[in-house]
Chains A and B, each alone.
Chain A
């Protein structure tokens, strides 16, 4: 027993020494600001992660041409696979091993919610470009975002359904494994009923991520006779739901949030499924603003595909960070945090970004129509 303990103690000592050595060697060389980025590069929301990273890399190239106060910005990318546990692990690794001074990420709110408390505790600022769930920035003063929140998105779509589409009976299908989806469905329910609409069905219509068969669920909803369906999920399942619904003869409009904003949605839903639905999002590549058009042109040239909302958000977040770094007194996490939180009227391609006192961005949203040829710009809604 005693020998066992000694061996154990020895092992611990060796491991600790090794960890310390790694840390010592990993300390940043002069002239480099290390930033960590956590995005889903694989898994069900992979296109979102890949687009975000593309946007960040494109912005990074421009920023590093001039540098920030003589230093280069270095971004270390980690894959969270779209899973909260992986996001938490990646953030721990970036903070403890890579010693980053700021974190960017992730896309899905569930993942950012898992990462935020860790960043807060380590006092490393974290900016999320795309997580819209309310709770994300409540983790503490080191957590901020450069996108709008679900409150705003849910309200925009509830108003759009009731006022622009003149629909009064809505059904809600929620992705039960996503904080994002649950947040959006709650806001929509409140706003839509406040406007005078009815939410049909006694119980919630819910599914889980990675489900593929929705026919029985849709049959149940069909029985309640809604005239519009609020489906605030991600494109992987939303695409399949649209296809199956149309096959079952459900031709009513489905409404979604920015979670639908991926080119994969069209492919999964098919030409029939995609027609006549609406989403709210951060950015439209059809926006006539010259800054946006310039971004679209360069992005398309570089990556051979049109940018989605996540690419635009990724591009904006790295510039918001660069802007904050320029204003920060030092490159210590504390000063960077203060600079990020005092961002006002930053001209981004997804709108004018002002970080408010709750560290959320105040900015406009766009409503897009889904068509077989992509997302068509419908209207712009200011906060």
Chain B
């Protein structure tokens, strides 16, 4: 019996590690959803595709033998620039047209990028070259792979940087002001168009980073890869309270850990059912999400 108890705790620890690694990815993607929603109230369904593009940029650079430490920021830049372009060409002209129009357009952009990717790059999943020697470290009976550590550490660093950017810089202050009240911010002399572009850039850059990390973690990159993580990250953002930055992080981690616990201790096929049941229950109890307040605080 005591053996079984020991096994239980070992497994629990292992599922938590796996869950935190996966949750970190969801969190990085969820941040972009939540920031964009916070600032212009748009659910940007094309966000998963920014993540896919980041993964491909990272893949090509690492195939060209650039080290991870250079490929990661370049991929972030690539995703960010794509997002700024999409915002400028598509979202900005229809911003005043209404929420539903913007939402449908976002879905359109998402499908456009998916199928464009499939035509240009082919549908076949591509393996990620081993940019880093993959090792597995043992912490007692628990295993943590080097790449899991990198995912968790990179996520923490990026989130720290984001927090600093939003709370302690001038542009961060402008972002908060724009999200609080766009018209008023404009009257105060803030170039809100620029701020919105910048928000898209930062959100997509984080998704791009997640794309590279995922490519390395699972060793597969393909044009449709953004769809499901995009959806899960959207759930994570809503779970944490959409528009609230720490909420996206918390939502991502909760979702990742919950999924892995369901797989481990229950039947794996219930994974998504349980994950979404948790979402429904939390929203029934706290309609604004875990960290959302009913007052209108955003970004």
A interface list, Cβ under 8 A from B:
41-44, 46-47, 176, 203-208, 210, 212-213, 215-217, 219-220, 223, 236, 239-240, 243-244, 247-249, 264, 267-268, 270
**Per-position contact with A for B1-24: 1 when CB-CB < 8 Å, else 0?**
000000100010011001100100
B267 within 8 A of A: yes
- Provide the residues of chain B in CB contact with A41, threshold 8 Å: 123
Closest CB pairs A-B (n = 7): A46-B123, A267-B127, A42-B123, A216-B260, A212-B218, A216-B263, A215-B18
18 A-B contacts (beta carbon < 8 Å): A44-B123, A206-B269, A208-B269, A208-B272, A210-B224, A210-B228, A212-B218, A212-B220, A213-B18, A213-B218, A215-B18, A219-B11, A236-B125, A240-B219, A240-B220, A248-B136, A267-B127, A270-B219
In angstroms, Cα B262 to Cα A208, docked, is: 14
Chain B residues touching A, range: 20 to 34
B207-238, CB < 8 A from A: 214, 218-220, 224, 228
Check A220 against B145 for contact (C-beta < 8 Å): no
A41–B122 CA distance with the chains assembled, in angstroms: 10
Whether A247 pairs with B145 at a CB distance below 8 angstroms is yes
B contact set with A: CB distance below 8 Å: 7, 11, 14-15, 18-19, 22, 118, 122-127, 130, 134, 136, 143, 145, 214, 218-220, 224, 228, 260, 263-264, 267-269, 272
Please report the C-alpha to C-alpha distance between residue A39 and residue B214 in the assembled complex, in whole angstroms.
29
Residues of B within 8 A of A206 (CB): 267-269
Could you tell me the distance between the alpha carbons of A240 and B14 in the complex, rounded to whole angstroms? 19
Q: How many Å from the CB of A243 to the closest CB on chain B?
A: 6
Residue of B nearest to A203 (CB): B267
> What is the bound-complex CA distance between A369 and B90, given in angstroms?
51
CA separation between A318 and B19, bound complex, in Å? 48
Q: Quote the shortest CB–CB distance from A276 to chain B (angstroms).
A: 19
The reply to whether A216 and B125 form a contact with Cβ atoms under 8 Å apart is no
A205 to B271, CA, bound (A): 12
Docked complex Cα distance between A247 and B134 (Å):
8
Which of B7, B126, B143, B228 is in CB contact (< 8 Å) with A248?
A: B143
Which residues of B sit under 8 angstroms from A247, Cβ to Cβ? 134, 136, 145
